Structure 1
Amino acid sequence: MQTTEISLLVLLAVAFVVYRQFRTRPTGRLGVLYTAGAMIAGGVIMGGLLDPVHPVLGLALFAVEALGAVALGVWRATTVRVWLDGSGATWAKGTGWTLVAWVASIAVRLGLYVAGQWLGLAPSAGGILIFVGLTIGVQAYLVARRGRALIAMNERPDTVER
């Protein structure tokens, strides 16, 4: 597949993930982590992550992209509402801030793509897959972790005597 085709498929996957984030869902389901892992693995397998003409510059841009993906995933995770229902199950749903964070994530990715082009680096579909896989995976992991923390806090006996 060409970079354009992969970019369109990734865009569809991101649209689906964003859509699901605005629906109430249990935090314990980790299917999106498998999807994120598959995207990262696919990006590595596709290769082309480093420009052979400018390997140091390509590595630097890749590092910025990876750090940016993680940071944006952390930010989006903090914008998701996570709560415990009466039966002890945890749920999550995106907020308006989650949408703002997604728009910022897309803008950052496009900005990094343009910066790479401006620097003369060859575009990499594998890089796109890794960025999206990292950012989605980090967000999903942190939301699930927040859900587990709510359950643990609810199960912990009250240590304060009255």
Structure 2
Amino acid sequence: MNTVEISLLVLLALSLAVYRQTRTRPAARMTGTLVTAAALVVLGFTSGGLFDTGQPALSLALFAVEAVAAVALGAWRASSVRVWLDDAGIAWAKATVWTLLAWLVSIATRVGLYFVGTAVGLSVSTGGALLFLGLTLGTQAYLVARRGRALTGDRILSKGDA
């Protein structure tokens, strides 16, 4: 994928994610969002250019910072999502104003890390944006679903339960 295609995919995925989060949706199961997040991570890795072979240590350090930031920001956004039970005992979730603010901080962080990479002389790729979005979206979806399951008493079956 070229830079324009990746940028459009990131904007589309981000817009869809934020739009869906502003709508009331079941909280205990977020399988679709997790699959989308996993696909974004895979596309981020397969698009190439995540690491600058000319400066591998610096490139790996920036990659680690981006991954940690993506997970931390996803956890922050997940904590800002309203999760509640209705009268039928179904867990629901909906983004709050704080969630939208956290999305803005997430975007600014990713843009800032991109510019840090270019400022220190790394050749950075837009595939990193796919990876960042996949990690942060997956973290948020997993934690919101976990909160929803905690409210309903559901749990994920392990291999021994089947």
Q: TM-score, normalised by structure 2?
A: 0.91
Hey, what's the Cα distance between the residues in 2 that align with 1:93 and 1:35?
19
1:119 has 2:115 as partner: no
Q: Which residue of 2 aligns with 1:157?
A: none
Hey, what's the Cα distance between the residues in 1 that align with 2:5 and 2:114?
16
Task: Provide the alpha-carbon RMSD of the alignment.
Answer: 1.1
SS for the counterpart of 2:153 is helix
Q: Which moved more, 1:102-111 or 1:1-10?
A: 1-10
Q: Which residue of 2 aligns with 1:76?
A: 77
Hey, what's the Cα distance between the residues in 2 that align with 1:54 and 1:94?
40
Q: Which residue of 1 aligns with 2:20?
A: 20
Q: Which residue of 2 aligns with 1:8?
A: 8
Residues 80-108 of structure 1: CA deviation (Å, up to 9, x unaligned): 00001111111000000001000000000
Hey, what's the Cα distance between the residues in 2 that align with 1:109 and 1:3?
16
SS for the counterpart of 1:91 is strand
Hey, what's the Cα distance between the residues in 1 that align with 2:85 and 2:31?
17
| Contact in 1 for aligned 2:51/2:124 (Cα 8 Å) | no
| Contact in 2 for aligned 1:3/1:123 (Cα 8 Å) | no
| Contact in 2 for aligned 1:83/1:91 (Cα 8 Å) | yes
Q: Which residue of 1 aligns with 2:50?
A: 49
Tell me which structure has the larger Cα radius of gyration.
1
Give the deviation of 1:126 after TM superposition. 2.1
SS for the counterpart of 1:53 is coil
Hey, what's the Cα distance between the residues in 1 that align with 2:130 and 2:30?
22
Q: Which moved more, 1:37-46 or 1:74-83?
A: 37-46
Structure 2: unaligned runs, 5 residues or longer? 155-162
Residues 91-141 of structure 1: CA deviation (Å, up to 9, x unaligned): 000000001000000000000000011011112122111100000000000
Hey, what's the Cα distance between the residues in 1 that align with 2:30 and 2:5?
29
Q: TM-score, normalised by structure 1?
A: 0.91
Aligned length: 153
Residues 61-94 of structure 1: CA deviation (Å, up to 9, x unaligned): 0000000000000000000000011111110000
Structure 1: unaligned runs, 5 residues or longer? 154-162
| Contact in 2 for aligned 1:39/1:133 (Cα 8 Å) | yes
Q: Which moved more, 1:89-98 or 1:6-15?
A: 6-15
| Contact in 2 for aligned 1:40/1:133 (Cα 8 Å) | yes
